[in-house]
Amino acid sequence: MRNRFSANLSRRTFVAAAGAAGVGVVGGGRTGAGPSAARPRSRAVFAHGVASGDPLADRVILWTRVSPEPAAAPGSGRGSPVNLRWEMATTADFAAVAATGTVVTTAASDHTVKVDAAGLSPSTAYWYRFRVLDGAAAGEMSPVGRTKTAPTAADDVRRARFGVASCANWEAGYFGAYRALAQRSDLDAVVHLGDYLYEYGPGEYGGKHGSVRAHEPARDIVSLADYRIRHAQYKTDPDLRAAHAAHPFICTWDDHESADNAWQRGAENHDPRRQGSWAARKAAAEQAYYEWMPVRPQVDATGRHLYRRLRYGKLLELSMLDLRSYRDEQVASTSAKVDSPSASITGRNQMRWLTGGLETSQTTWQLIGNPVMISPILLPPLDPERSRILTELLGLPRNGVSLNADAWDGYTADRRTLLAAIAKKAGGNAVFLTGDIHMSWACEVPREPADYPGAGSVATEFVVTSVTSNNLDDMVSVPEATLGTPAAAALMATNRHTRWVDTDAHGYAVLTVTPAAAQMDWFFVADRSVRRSSFRHGQSWRVAAGSRRLTKAARPA
């Protein structure tokens, strides 16, 4: 949403309303023939680094992008086919190669390379690299990346640890959160919850004091070439490249990978009169995403889809959701239509898959990678009797008026269906990992928003703040905590299931899961407009297995 009024509050208007309510990569070497005078150097041939993702017990996705010649720029549609060899080893010196193969890439896939490297050992760290076999860049070697496979379903895993990130806007600042994640050696993977990139043109959505750096291409991205160029630009960021090279990523998309406030047949930031059909734009965005991201989409009778599930032994299952491709159009926060049984945020097939998996899960923890908040944020939250009266007299939503109908608050029937499935799971421990809102939250997810704590909670939710995208203090151009402190106090006072919220800081989080508890530790950057800015620990919250209640932790797990 481009700072214009909408009856359906977006993330930007949400943070304004909240204020009002409160008053480094390992370098690769070269093998084979030496470079000729005409041959591009490796940093140009592999300018976008390497990445891995979606680790299973016996396989992992490996990714890179090769520029076989200067004319074969991202989005150009130019360049000859290129043959590459990929290698994996259990040591960084590649003394003993554990897996290898060859792959060809062409301009049809924008010269991106994706390999589902199989035959690997579980719970094992691997180093990987690519080498060009032919053409002008023959012999050039990619940077070296490190990845890690998941344990088997039968393994008695005692700890899993994930970096968590969301909402990285190139123009709003530098990606220091990715640098900090890259420097950690204790992560099994990084979970990215969406808004990996932003679709706006230069100057349309910058930082607190304007744009720190400019988007390419110099327009809202609409075509396949546009989306490819934008993905390529983001992967030139050295901190993002370092994070990808250090850890496997488990990613899903939110709206800005296509357009702001996207839904099944349109988006708020899409004008068919100027930008053509939504179907064509969405198809272009999806194709570029699948080309440029280390994801393993699932294919079944319904077609290709991004929602999928990964398992870490007996400890946890992680269900990654797609809450944009199948959702119905958002309605106004004040409309009783948010309670309509026909309004879905997941779509029928994804909801069936999600609830079925949660009900039959055999792991201690059920993690849900959730692009938008599921905890209700109401202004004000109403007791059941007042809610019923206002619903009947004024047509307001049954639980009160939400601040953000773009989240699950705009699709309460789907939320009730999902929470009912979670409640049915005997001994279940559901934890939502959420992005999108550009703030940090620790919430208990109530059975009935208008009857908390009386009706109790069903799950917990940890919300990671943005890597760089604007939040409350940025929108009103004031120092952190000027409005944030009273706004946070007001939000927690009127939404008692919210145990903690920070409306101002940017950064990342780390989730640690053991059989006994799940704990989220938040870390905040001092200044996102400074490339090498420092970080501080924000807060830590934990939920003990079987409790569904949050307690503040004294220090990072």
The region of weakest confidence among 154-168, 428-442, 470-484, 511-525 is: 470-484
**pLDDT score for 536:** 97
Q: Are residues 127 and 272 in the same domain?
A: no
Q: Does the pLDDT of residue 235 top 70, yes or no?
A: yes
Q: Are residues 352 and 371 in the same domain?
A: yes
**pLDDT score for 266:** 98
Q: Does the pLDDT of residue 450 top 80, yes or no?
A: no
Q: What is the DSSP pairing of strand 189-192 with strand 249-251?
A: parallel
Q: Does the pLDDT of residue 11 top 60, yes or no?
A: no
Q: Which two tokens stand for residue 162?
A: 């994930």
CATH number at residue 117: 2.60.40.380
Give the three-state DSSP class for 170: helix
Q: Are residues 16 and 97 in the same domain?
A: no
Q: Are residues 465 and 527 in the same domain?
A: yes
DSSP secondary structure string for all residues of 269-304:
T--HHHH--HHHHHHHHHHHHHHHS----EEETTEE
Question: Does some domain include residue 37?
Answer: no
Q: Are residues 373 and 311 in the same domain?
A: yes
Mean pLDDT of 231-242: 98
Q: What is the DSSP pairing of strand 440-446 with strand 457-463?
A: antiparallel
d(CA 467, CA 444): 24
Question: Does some domain include residue 30?
Answer: no
Q: Which two tokens stand for residue 453?
A: 């704590």
Confidence class of residue 10 from pLDDT cuts 50, 70 and 90? low
Q: Does the pLDDT of residue 475 top 60, yes or no?
A: yes
Question: Does some domain include residue 521?
Answer: yes
Q: What is the pTM of this model?
A: 0.92
- Sign of the torsion angle spanned by Cα atoms 523, 524, 526, 532: positive
427 C-beta neighbours (distance < 10 Å), count: 8
d(CA 368, CA 546): 17
Confidence class of residue 254 from pLDDT cuts 50, 70 and 90? very high
Q: What is the pLDDT of residues 173-182, one digit of tens each?
A: 999 999 999 9
Q: What is the pLDDT of residues 285-325, one digit of tens each?
A: 999 999 999 999 999 888 899 999 999 999 999 999 999 99
Tokens 């860049």 appear where? 137
**pLDDT score for 396:** 55
Q: Are residues 338 and 404 in the same domain?
A: yes
Mean pLDDT across the chain: 90
Q: Are residues 456 and 376 in the same domain?
A: yes
Mean pLDDT of 203-213: 96
Task: Give the range of the structural domain holding residue 136, as residue numbers without chain letter.
Answer: 42-143
Mean pLDDT of 255-270: 98
Q: Are residues 216 and 293 in the same domain?
A: yes
User: Which of 100, 123, 143 is the last residue in one of the domains?
Assistant: 143
Q: Are residues 20 and 129 in the same domain?
A: no
Please report how many Cα atoms fall inside a 13 Å half-sphere around the Cα of residue 113, on the Cβ side: 31
Closest C-alpha among 85, 318, 307 to residue 189: 318
Mean pLDDT of 360-383: 88
User: Which of 119, 143, 167 is the last residue in one of the domains?
Assistant: 143
209 C-beta neighbours (distance < 10 Å), count: 9
Q: What share of the chain is helix, strand, coil (3-state, %, to 5)?
A: 25, 25, 50
> Following CA atoms 69, 71, 77, 79 in sequence, which dihedral angle do they give, to the nearest 10 degrees?
-30
Q: Does the pLDDT of residue 236 top 50, yes or no?
A: yes
Mean pLDDT of 64-82: 97
Number of structural domains the chain divides into: 2
**pLDDT score for 534:** 98
Q: What is the pLDDT of residues 86-140, one digit of tens each?
A: 999 999 999 999 999 999 999 999 999 999 999 999 999 999 999 999 999 999 9
Distance (Å) of CA 528 to CA 114, 181, 521: 32, 15, 19
Mean pLDDT of 369-379: 93
Q: What is the pLDDT of residues 53-69, one digit of tens each?
A: 999 999 999 999 999 99
Question: Does some domain include residue 29?
Answer: no
Question: Does some domain include residue 36?
Answer: no
d(CA 205, CA 70): 31
d(CA 493, CA 285): 40
**pLDDT score for 31:** 35
CATH number at residue 215: 3.60.21.70
Q: What is the pLDDT of residues 324-363, one digit of tens each?
A: 999 999 999 888 899 999 999 999 999 999 999 999 999 9
Question: Does some domain include residue 469?
Answer: yes
Question: Does some domain include residue 34?
Answer: no
**pLDDT score for 36:** 35
Question: Does some domain include residue 31?
Answer: no
Q: Which two tokens stand for residue 226?
A: 């546009």
Confidence class of residue 20 from pLDDT cuts 50, 70 and 90? very low
**In 81-96, which positions are buried (b, 16+ CB within 10 angstroms) versus exposed (e)?**
ebebbbbbbeeeebee
Q: Are residues 248 and 125 in the same domain?
A: no
Q: Are residues 119 and 211 in the same domain?
A: no
**pLDDT score for 9:** 42
Confidence class of residue 380 from pLDDT cuts 50, 70 and 90? low
Confidence class of residue 482 from pLDDT cuts 50, 70 and 90? confident
Q: Are residues 60 and 173 in the same domain?
A: no
User: Which of 122, 143, 164 is the last residue in one of the domains?
Assistant: 143
